Amino acid sequence: MPAYERFSRFYDAAMDDPGPRAALVQDFIDRHHPDAASLLELGCGTGSILARLTPGPSLTGLDRSARMLDIAAQKVPGSRLIEGDMASFSLGEKFDVVICVFDSLNHLVEFDQWTSMFAAVYDHLNEGGLFCFDVNTVGELRRLGSEPPWVYDVEDNVMIMDVSCAEDGMSSWHIQIFEHVGESQYLLHEERIGELGVSLWRIRSALESTFALLEEVSDTGDPPTDDSVKAHFAFRRRP
């Protein structure tokens, strides 16, 4: 993840408000596992979701970027943070809740990595444990790929983001950050980050033998489809 090592300084300023995502995760937990005592977040990034969860469960975050975890340690000082690959991890313990939000799952660019992660989540959940995640849908990635580049002011810097989408569901996020380093001088940071769009049917099918679907919802509160913006899921681990 060399991109996120360099992007970490700008990540929070550039990303959408994490509050609604955290609130939905908290709602899933309150309704489906209110007595949860432990939680693991996969792809925790800078800790913006962990920092917004109601105090109670012990919090653990896993991410491949050491620099992202350094920022998370400042935001969530009571959490345990682990550098690792969410596609294939083995921590030797189980949790009541595992979450993977903010489209982190889409950054696994081969579906075999998705199924590997699903198997690892199953192994790390207590019986009856809760698995919550969200994804950018196939339709949303296609829409983003058809839009012109976005230009953002990020503090004193400028970020340009351009998304292109291929027929196989892969999208490429071309990110350019012009860091203001002097009165009229800018330093360019440039990365390409991949995301994989997967049909919701395929996701449900990959999970149905080991997890029971409790709830699925789009950003509008309706049942999600492949043309929704986001799809949010809550599953329970089967015995």
CA distance 102 to 22: 9
Q: pLDDT, tens digit, for every residue of 47-60?
A: 999 999 987 789 99
Q: pLDDT, tens digit, for every residue of 74-129?
A: 999 999 999 999 999 999 999 999 999 999 999 999 999 999 999 999 999 999 99
Q: What is the pLDDT of residue 146?
A: 94
Same domain, 217 and 121: yes
> If phi over 0 gives left and psi between -120 and 50 gives alpha, with beta otherwise, what is residue 128?
left
Q: What is the pLDDT of residue 11?
A: 62
Q: Is the distance from CB of 58 to CB of 37 less than 8 angstroms?
A: yes
> Tokens at residue 59, please?
């919090």
Residue with tokens 């503090």: 155
Q: What is the pLDDT of residue 238?
A: 97
> Which residue(s) pair with 163 in the sheet?
173
> Which residue(s) pair with 153 in the sheet?
158
> Tokens at residue 116, please?
């590997």
Same domain, 213 and 148: no
Same domain, 180 and 227: no
Q: How far is CA 46 from CA 86, 101, 105, 159, in A?
A: 15, 13, 16, 19
More reliable by pLDDT, 166 or 27: 27
Q: How far is CA 44 from CA 24, 99, 112, 158, 218, in A?
A: 16, 9, 21, 25, 21
Same domain, 42 and 160: no
Task: Give the predicted TM-score (pTM) of the model.
Answer: 0.91
Q: What is the pLDDT of residue 1?
A: 44
- How many CB atoms within 10 Å of residue 143? 15
Report the CATH number at residue 71.
3.40.50.150
Secondary structure letter of residue 167 according to DSSP: T
Nearest to 163 by CA among 154, 151, 175, 153: 175
Report the CATH number at residue 148.
2.20.25.110
Q: Is the distance from CB of 207 to CB of 101 less than 8 angstroms?
A: no
Same domain, 167 and 216: no
Same domain, 27 and 89: yes
Nearest to 162 by CA among 146, 150, 178: 150
Same domain, 152 and 129: no
For the cut 60, the answer to whether the pLDDT of residue 2 exceeds it is no
Same domain, 31 and 101: yes
Same domain, 102 and 160: no
Q: What is the pLDDT of residue 8?
A: 58
Cα atoms in the 13 Å half-sphere on the side-chain side of 234: 21
Same domain, 73 and 184: no
Based on the structure, what is the number of domains in the chain? 2
Give the structural domain span for 214.
Answer: 2-136+198-237
Same domain, 108 and 163: no
Same domain, 7 and 26: yes
